[in-house]
Structures are given as C-alpha cells and as structure tokens.
Amino acid sequence: MIRDTLTKYFPSLSGVQLEKLCRLEGLYSEWNSKINVISRRDIENFNIHHLLHSLSIARVISFVPGTEILDIGTGGGLPGIPLAIMFPEVHFVLLDSIRKKIKVVTEIAAALQLTNVKPVWERAENHRGSYDFIVSRAVADFPELVRIAEGKIKKESRNELKNGIIGSVQNFV
C-alpha cells in the first residue's frame, strides 16, 4: 500500500529510494518498542502521519544538490530521514536535545546507509552553523521556532525558494 502511494505522489523515486522509504515503518516500529519516539498509539499510522507528513515538504520544493538543511527537534529523525532519502545529494543535520532520540536517528541512518545525515545531540539554542533551510515538526510554536532559528539561515539562496523555515503539511493524503 505505501509503495503504491509513494510512487503515486513521487513517480521519479529510484528503486533504492523506494526500498529505503518502505523500510522505515519497520525500523521505526522496532526502535519505538525500545525507545518511545512516536506515540505508541500512533505507530500503526506511521506511513500517513509520519512518513508522508515528512515528505510533504518535497511536494513544495526540490532541493538542489549541496543544499544544507537543519532539522530542529528531529526527535527520531522526522522529517529529516525521509527527506534525506528523497534528496541523497543534500546535507542534513538532525538536531535534538534528547540523547536517546539521537541514538535512534544514528541507528536508522546507519541501517539505511544514509551518508548525508549528521545526527547532533545539542539544544537548538546552542547550535552554531548556518543552513539554507530549517525544517521542523511540532517542536515549538512558530514565533518560538523563528527565535531559535535566528542567525542560522544563510543569506544567499541557491534554491527556487528563498532560504528560510519550512514546515511539513499534516493533511497530505
């Protein structure tokens, strides 16, 4: 079912990308049984509520190779990991202040051989670096996210959209 949905919305996915995206539900279910990164009641809705929700960003923009993205409050790697699969030539820093969540990100990225993902255990307010885009899912209300992102967005844009903060859309399907 998810394979058909993914190919419907993203027909240009390679076989490798499709396979990695289809593996996510199993990987997250396994890790969620050890470390609560997704609501235990919601894990059965992983593909729609988490995978497609994360990928909704890819319906708005196709990042050019070399783009640098910071995922603030990534939790278990959402939206960063699905986006890293979608855009293998884009660099993703997945940031969270909770060490066990970064462990999940590290392990899932390794299982999928995602070389474009860098997990970082740190508070967003303390993180230094500048990025083309900042992505996030429900980590803070928007004014707070803007405050946290201040100074972390590069001035010069290289994508079709101007650099900034991009959120994911909840009602994707």
Domain architecture of the chain: domains with CATH = 2-167 (3.40.50.150)
> How is residue 112 annotated by DSSP?
T
Cβ–Cβ < 8 Å for 105, 74: yes
- Positions of E strands within the chain: 68-72, 91-96, 117-121, 133-136, 164-167
Largest CA distance in the chain: 43
The per-residue pLDDT string of the chain (173 residues; one tens digit each, 9 = 90 and over) reads 899 999 999 999 999 999 999 999 999 999 988 988 887 777 788 888 889 999 999 999 999 999 999 999 999 999 999 999 999 999 999 999 999 999 999 999 999 999 999 999 999 999 999 999 999 986 778 888 899 999 999 999 999 999 999 975 443 33
- At 64 the three-state DSSP class reads coil
Cβ–Cβ < 8 Å for 90, 63: yes
The predicted model scores a pTM of: 0.93
Q: How far apart are CA 168 and CA 11, in angstroms?
A: 20
